Amino acid sequence: MSEPAATRPAVRVSGLTKRFGAFTAVDDVSFDVGMGEIFGFLGPNGAGKTTTIKMLTGLLHPTSGTAEIAGLSILHDLETLKSRIGYMSQLFSLYADLTVEENIDLFAGLYGVRGRRFEERKAWIVEMAGIGEHVGRLTADLPLGFKQRLALGCAVIHGPPVLFLDEPTSGVDPVARRRFWDLIFDLSKAGTTVFVSTHYMEEAEYCHRLALMNRGRLIALDSPATLRGSMVEPLLELRTDDAPHAVEVVKGLSGVLEASMYGRALHVLVADERAATPVLSEALAGAGLTLRSLRRIEPALEDVFVARVRAAGGVE
């Protein structure tokens, strides 16, 4: 995917920090997001993704640092800022006891979308979410995929230049997820900057750029392709009859940087492919394990992240 030209960043985060007592949830994070970019935010649970998004949307006050969104400071221009951003959280947060239409009316009203523009936006949401036949139904009774598309529609009812999505697709099936992402692509094409956190790797691939967070810190920031290419060490896929046992054996061997299970296989990151092959076979044979296959593979994003997170000190 091509990177859109960014003249002025849509989001500029500088030194953003949030502490809860002694615990530092977000630790001195800085980055820029370009206009119209789909910016992915990845990391294990508790890495500080949600806290960062909450600070950027004004739901939390940063302990220190600041950020500018569409040229407006989250510290000083919050009131104006609110009408320039959209937000959708991992919790489905429309009113379950209101109908689809009543939810749309409510958020349109809160964002001051009225008159002809309101009619247009409403029609657009109904069409894009595919909920034409459900407008009179209680939101509680909709399937999850519909709910999520409706929530997205309500979040962008005022056409905000920047949209924040906090794990928007958790819990929906792959088809609905793909449909949701088509909507994100449309928004991005229309010029909306989309800031999305996720822990689905296939979703990460859809992003123009990815930021990886761990323990409150930003540990990687680049396009998916560059990140994949950044892993220069060879990655080997190893199959045996007892993967859990094999991990124990392989870990700590000289020349082995990383070993982790992927399904029933092992992914082993080594310093030098030629030197490592005999070492691995010997060690496995010594432990009474049969080596079924051993081959070099292209790293997936997941491998990159596992390696990065471990290199950065592992998960808490």
Partner 1 sequence: MTRLSPFRIRQIVRKEVRQLLRDPRSRPILFVAPVVQLLLFGYAVNTDVRSTPLAVLDLDRSAASRELVDELVAAGYFETVIQADRPRELVEALDRGQALIALEVPPRFSRDLASGRGAAVQLLVDGTDSNTGTIALGHARRTILAYSLEKGGLGESLAIGPRLEPRAWFNPSLESRVYNVPGVIGILILLMCLLLTSFSVVRERELGTLDQLRVSPVKPAELILGKTIPVAVVALIDLALITAVGTAWFDIPLKGSPLVLLAASLLFILSGLAAGLLISTVSKTQQEAFLTMYLVLLPSIILSGFFFPIHSMPELFQWVSFLNPVRYFLEIVRAIFLKGAGPVVLWPQFSALLILGTAGIAVAIRRFARSIA
Residues that bind partner 1 (CB under 8 A): 54, 57-59, 61, 79, 82-83, 85-87, 89, 91-98, 102, 105-107, 109-112, 114, 138, 154
Shortest spacing between CB 96 and partner 1, in angstroms: 8
Shortest spacing between CB 147 and partner 1, in angstroms: 13
Of 151 and 210, nearer to partner 1 (C-beta) is 151
Shortest spacing between CB 31 and partner 1, in angstroms: 21
State the Cα–Cα distance between residues 197 and 168, nearest whole angstrom: 8
Please give the structure tokens belonging to residue 42.
């990845």
Of 105 and 205, nearer to partner 1 (C-beta) is 105
Is residue 220 classed exposed, middle or buried when 0-12, 13-18 and 19+ CB atoms within 10 A define those classes? buried
Shortest spacing between CB 114 and partner 1, in angstroms: 8
Of 138 and 315, nearer to partner 1 (C-beta) is 138
Give the pairing of strands 193-197 and 38-42: parallel
Of 15 and 112, nearer to partner 1 (C-beta) is 112
Shortest spacing between CB 262 and partner 1, in angstroms: 34
Of 58 and 255, nearer to partner 1 (C-beta) is 58
State the Cα–Cα distance between residues 192 and 69, nearest whole angstrom: 12
State the Cα–Cα distance between residues 155 and 168, nearest whole angstrom: 11
State the Cα–Cα distance between residues 260 and 251, nearest whole angstrom: 9
∠ Cα 193 195 201 (to 5°): 125
